[in-house]
Chains A and B, each alone.
Chain A
Amino acid sequence: MKIKDIAALLSAQILTPEISVETEVHTACGSDMMSDVLAYVKDQAVLITGLNNPQVIRTADMMDMVCVVYVRGKKPDRLSLELAVKSNICVLCTDMPMFSCCGILYDNGLRGA
């Protein structure tokens, strides 16, 4: 699916209009622990998280991810959004909780490792 499909499925707001939502993605992971993302994630394109600090975007950048979805209504700060744009990472935010987001995306074809 494309990033714009994720936004539609999760009723998510797109916070980085500068970044294309036409990018095709096939894999995702959900975690609030960046240490675990760095340790266990392999070739995932989308990070779903409820953690809100600039290290979320740094972590996604190091892992070559292309999209970060903030759940539970979390809104990243200005620094996070600036880093995301600089790293060509699309940022979405949704009011849905993590479990629901993962379930919906899995049900529509996204997979984990």
Chain B
Amino acid sequence: MMDAIKFVYTVPGDDFSAAGQASADLKSKLKTMGVDPKSLRNIAISLYEGEINLAIHAGGGQITVLVYPDKVQMFLDDEGPGIADIPLAMTEGYSGASDAVRSLGFGAGMGLPNMKKYTDEFDIQSTVGQGTHIKMAVYLKD
């Protein structure tokens, strides 16, 4: 496989207004690199959902993005509380978010399902008390 172009972002866990900076920056960079609009939107939405999760659920985390000619891989890693029941968390409409988070316009239980919906590859591993690791990929059109 060809060498990838790598981008790394740190997502703070205590600044909700800053959430989305990484996704916006990546979207801008990929647009400059000529990524097709549909793939670009899928990457932006899935990463943005993940970034929001890192900010509101995990106390922050790290995003690593690898850009290949044929796909964009995204890794989201945190050392937050973890997810006890992943199938439940993947259910549309289920949310463990607080009322405070809902008042910010999120916590409808669509975050993880959206990330899966908008990506071509999606894998989530989580250990309660240790953190969550998500790997996603979007295939690029010619």
Contact = CB atoms under 8 A, between A and B. Distances in A.
B24 A33 contact: no
Contacts of A58: 19-20, 23-24, 48
A39 B110 contact: yes
Interface stretch (A13-21, A49-57, A90-98): A49-57
Contacts of A39: 92, 108, 110, 113-114, 117
A17 B8 CA distance: 35
A81 interface: no
A5 interface: no
A79 B17 contact: yes
Interface of B: 16-17, 19-20, 23-24, 27, 37, 41, 44-45, 48-49, 52, 92, 104-111, 113-114, 117
Contacts of A79: 17
A53 B41 contact: no
A62 interface: yes
Contacts of B37: 64
Contacts of B49: 38
